[in-house]
Amino acid sequence: MKLSTPPIAPKTLVTLHSLGIETVADLRQIGSAKAFLLLKAAGCTVTQSTLWQLEALLLGIAAADLSDTQKAAVTGQIKQHPPVAVFPTPSEMEKFMQAALQQAKQSSQMEEIPVGTVVVQKGQIIAAAHNTCVRNHNISHHAEIRALAQAGAALGNYRLDGCDVYITLEPCAMCASALIQARVKRVIFGAAEPKTGAAGSVLNLFGHNILNKHTAVLGGVLADECGNVLRDFFAARRG
């Protein structure tokens, strides 16, 4: 069943369609809480009644028939939900991830674990870095930390509000914490890191309710290419 007006307000419906949420099935896949947060992230003016309408659509009832318990449950989901953002188009994300991959390949040539990062502001790369832990005898010289330092110097501010960070590998806890502290808007990573990943694989610091939640995360962009760089590196070392 397609979403329609009524019950959804016309401008809200247009925004939902722009987000790829056109049917009740689309809404069910995302959930009413995330759809509501996506509307806010897209700049749509929404009220609590919008949330009730979305939840009621999923339940197949009128918003006026939602119980207090049902309203409390979906409100709780909003409070517990990880940060949400509207991400760039796939082609744009792949373009910047390719730049991060070039950085990762530089690490590989230096016998460093091949991870690359670029920081993007308003569609322009303002910082690019790769791992140099071995070369600099410094465990903190991960690609993300070095790129954040470069971007901070370029902007004259350690807070990188409005910036996106592209990373070829899911960040570890150290780097995830630094990204959060920098108030980066969005983190886009390539390959998952099942052993130390702190963006969902082992834990998700970005969605931890005790921490200040500023940064939305999306993984899997050019995941195969990013993973292959790492696999080739370790295969060569074993060989």
- Binding residue positions for Zn(2+): 142, 172, 175
Place of tokens 């809200």: 12
Q: Which position among 144, 170, 193, 225 bears the catalytic label?
A: 144
Closest residue by Cα to residue 51 from 85, 81, 86? 81
As annotated, the binding site includes 142, 172, 175
Is 22 one of the catalytic residues? no
The residues assigned a catalytic role are: 144
